[in-house]
Amino acid sequence: MTMTTAAILPTSPAPLDIGIGGMTCASCVARVEKALKKVPGVETATVNLATESARIVYAPGEQMEARLRRAVRDAGYEPRAAGAAIDAPDASPWAGFMPVGIGLALSAPLVVPMLADLFGKHWMLPPLWQFLLATPVQFVLGARFYKAAWGALKAFTGNMDLLVALGTTAGWALSMWLWLTAKAGSMVHLYFEGSAIVITLVLLGKWLEARAKRQTTSAIRALHALRPEVAHLMGVDGEVDVPVAEVLVADRLVVKPGERFPVDGTLLEGHTQVDESMLTGEPLPVSKEPGGKLTGGSINGEGRVVMQVAAVGSQTVLSHIIALVEDAQAAKAPIQRLVDQVSAVFVPVVLVIALLTLLGWWLTGHAFELALIHAVAVLVIACPCALGLATPAAIMAGTGVAAKYGILIKDAQALELAHKVDVVAFDKTGTLTVGRPKLTALVVLPGVDEGEALRLAASLQSGSEHPLARAVLAAAQEKGLGIEAPDNARAVPGRGTEGEVGVLSFLMGSLRWMDELQVDMHAVAAQAADLQAQGATVSAMAERTTAGLTLRALMAFGDEPKPGAKEALAELRARGIRTVMISGDNRGAAEAMARRLGLRPEEGEVMAEVLPGDKAARVMALKEGGQVVAMVGDGVNDAPALAAADVGMAMGNGTDVAMHAAGITLMRGDPLLVAAALDISDCTVAKIRQNLFWAFAYNVAGIPLAALGFLNPVLAGAAMAMSSVSVMSNALLLKRWKPVKTGHSNPNPENPVVATK
């Protein structure tokens, strides 16, 4: 039996990343996106100028990847391997400078006489020498502009290269015409130096831009560099070195002092200290004992250890981090839509303005060569390079530096929205508290043995991962009680657990559940109220008998606030942000913990007795009235609320489900990182706005000045080159950001000061 092609095709939309060579400006981005979206089956296509890549989501189809690559090539660009720009080895700071250096060497003799004229010196070179110096710059060094411009013309679009090619060719051709038509022996002013220096300046600007791009992708390259190439495998023949790509789950690996752990796993033998700063941003080493979790990329301390592999390849934590950062840097922020709309019509409008400039000057009685020079200046200064780089450069720098401090931003939308947050809602257990409650009190009914009640409760809860269940188990184990596996155990979401221990049937859960089941609680009602008033979480255990449900014991649990949680809430309040705690505990226990954390229950900052399934509804209620809400949580039951919030923040010490639902992951599980995440969003959005302002300002101010004759092509070329360099340099200032501990909010996003551990 043969399998048809359709049978092996994927059935759900598939993402694809393609590297793209030859893009130079925002118009190129719009052109590639348009070409990709025309391919049947493509659902979305997002092109990033800073990473020189495209992210495409397409419906299943035969040879789709080949079709998409062909579409890129037909649009006039070169399809490359995904991440080629990022995965390239670190180059010398002077890599790629040779064409610029040659251009400067050939252009200098043309520019020096022009500058000497300002001091009354007439060193003008003969026309032949000017021609010999300018022509290689125009047609050899400038060949890249002609090639790209021709591709744009074939696609009936425009880009930066078309503007540069048209402008400099016009200047060069005008100089040739003036030279060849001049009377013998006459002195004629030529414009070879203008065309040559414009091309050289544009090349210089692109070289500086490329250097800056390498810095913006340094975060990704640094993460890739954390992956060791070789692992020490313990095989049947002893210890052998194998490529990390060949390591399998359940393999046993040796890791020597100072080496990086090659993959994720569990410590089997040995004791060591592990530097996990690449994962959490926390510089202090973490002690590891047998059974402890190890993360690939972290650094082993002083001990030789043996680990068992738990995850390899794309399933490792480091791979997930890299994927999150790459996704965020490849994404397009909502603010970019304005740039896309402008760039779609920018080049045609500039061509019209240049033509009107030419006709306006010429028809008002000025010499044709003067009119042409002013039109050339318009073409040169209008290149929209900076527009295409303004947003992605800032996003790459912001997400990169955030990852360095343990803040993983999954998408650009979360990054852009976070600075608008008005309300931050926190899950209590595991987020604001340590999440490891202890059994603090056990109250048994008359005739019930305390040790037996604890043993039965621990047996009933032995299969549960709930923090309260673990606290019961820990208390029973401390007393050496024999625990047996329950039969027919079943978790009742938001309420508790029921099952059988031996021949007896029990339920254990919240007091609210006991009320719903009409369990008689009168005998311990006063004690339960006292424990709750002290901030304890109280559960009850009832036995199912022939007479119905009979209360057997009360158990009180206490948790501790997380280090830094109180400071984190104070920092957010100082920034003018409302904070709310959402808890499933009874109101007394929830409010007692809230006050320890500095929250104000009387002002509505505590939502108590909230069932897991109702958290998302509470978040939606907070969003009413146009408020932007961030939700911070760590558990599976927080995932719907994280997804419902405008910005979801998952604690990195929580569950994978929570992290997938959230737009931002705080790898250290530190509440103080919430304020830091909001601050890096503030700073990044500020940089985006600054970049867009300067990108538009160069064009809005420069085009009229050039059209009115106040800018010559040389100055226009310098201004255009500097626009891209200034935008990239401004974005790179984000790399200086660091979370710094403070007790007050920071009013100046350009000098970020944010609380952290």
- Is the sign of the CA dihedral 319, 323, 326, 329 positive or negative? negative
Joined together, the tokens standing for residue 628 give: 């932007």
Q: Report, as an integer, the average pLDDT of 152-161.
A: 75
Residue-by-residue DSSP string for 334-394 = TTHHHHHHHHHHHHHHHHHHHHHHHHHHHHTT--HHHHHHHHHHHHHHT--HHHHHHHHHH
Strand partners, 291: none
- Of 161, 251, 327, 427, which residue is the catalytic one? 427
Q: Of the given ranges (348-357, 728-737, 745-754), which has the lowest mean pLDDT?
A: 745-754
The pLDDT value recorded for residue 424 is 95
The pLDDT value recorded for residue 344 is 66
Per cent of the chain over pLDDT 90 is 28
Reply yes or no on whether 275 is catalytic. no
Q: At residue 748, does pLDDT exceed 60?
A: no
The pLDDT value recorded for residue 749 is 37
Average per-residue pLDDT in the chain? 83
> H/E element holding 206?
helix 192-216
Beta strand 487-492 with 293-294: parallel, antiparallel or unpaired?
unpaired
Q: Could you tell me if 680 and 332 are in contact, meaning their C-beta atoms sit under 8 angstroms apart?
A: no
Q: Report, as an integer, the average pLDDT of 420-441.
A: 88
CA distances from residue 729 to 390, 525, 722, 723 in whole angstroms, order as listed: 10, 66, 10, 10
All domains of the chain in start order, with CATH? 5-87 (3.30.70.100), 98-218+326-395+689-736 (no CATH), 224-316 (2.70.150.10), 406-433+562-681 (3.40.50.1000), 438-558 (3.40.1110.10)
Q: Could you tell me if 110 and 104 are in contact, meaning their C-beta atoms sit under 8 angstroms apart?
A: no
> H/E element holding 550?
strand 548-558
How confident is the model over 575-587, as pLDDT tens digits? 999 999 998 877 8
Q: Report, as an integer, the average pLDDT of 604-622.
A: 86
Q: Could you tell me if 696 and 661 are in contact, meaning their C-beta atoms sit under 8 angstroms apart?
A: no
Closest CA relative to residue 378, chosen from 170, 548, 219: 170
Q: At residue 69, does pLDDT exceed 90?
A: yes
**Apex 604 CA angle, 599 and 606, nearest 5:** 55
Q: At residue 253, does pLDDT exceed 90?
A: yes
How confident is the model over 200-233, as pLDDT tens digits? 877 887 787 677 666 666 666 777 778 889 999 9
φ/ψ (deg, to 5) at 274: -120, 130
How confident is the model over 285-338, as pLDDT tens digits? 888 889 999 989 889 988 899 999 999 988 888 887 777 777 766 666 666 666
The pLDDT value recorded for residue 752 is 34
Q: Report, as an integer, the average pLDDT of 233-244.
A: 88
Q: Of the given ranges (441-455, 458-472, 678-692), which has the lowest mean pLDDT?
A: 458-472
Q: Give the model's confidence band at 1: pLDDT under 50 very low, under 70 low, under 90 confident, else very high.
A: very low
Q: Of the given ranges (79-83, 416-420, 438-442, 677-681), which has the lowest mean pLDDT?
A: 79-83
Closest CA relative to residue 652, chosen from 670, 675, 640: 670
Per cent of the chain over pLDDT 70 is 86
CA 590 to CA 599: how far, in whole Å?
11
The pLDDT value recorded for residue 755 is 30
Residue-by-residue DSSP string for 238-255 = EEEEEEGGG--TT-EEEE
Closest CA relative to residue 114, chosen from 712, 740, 727: 712
The pLDDT value recorded for residue 116 is 65
Long-range contacts (CB closer than 8 Å, 24 or more residues apart) made by 233-241: 234/306
Q: Give the model's confidence band at 434: pLDDT under 50 very low, under 70 low, under 90 confident, else very high.
A: confident
Q: Of the given ranges (243-247, 249-253, 588-592), which has the lowest mean pLDDT?
A: 588-592
Q: At residue 4, does pLDDT exceed 50?
A: no
Q: Of the given ranges (59-73, 114-128, 542-556, 733-747), which has the lowest mean pLDDT?
A: 733-747
Long-range contacts (CB closer than 8 Å, 24 or more residues apart) made by 643-646: 643/616, 644/616, 644/619, 644/620, 645/425, 645/619, 646/417, 646/420, 646/421
**What amino acid is encoded at 475 in this protein?**
A
CA 472 to CA 475: how far, in whole Å?
5
How confident is the model over 139-148, as pLDDT tens digits? 999 998 898 8
Q: At residue 353, does pLDDT exceed 60?
A: yes
Alpha-carbon torsion, ordered 267, 269, 275, 278, to 10 deg: -30
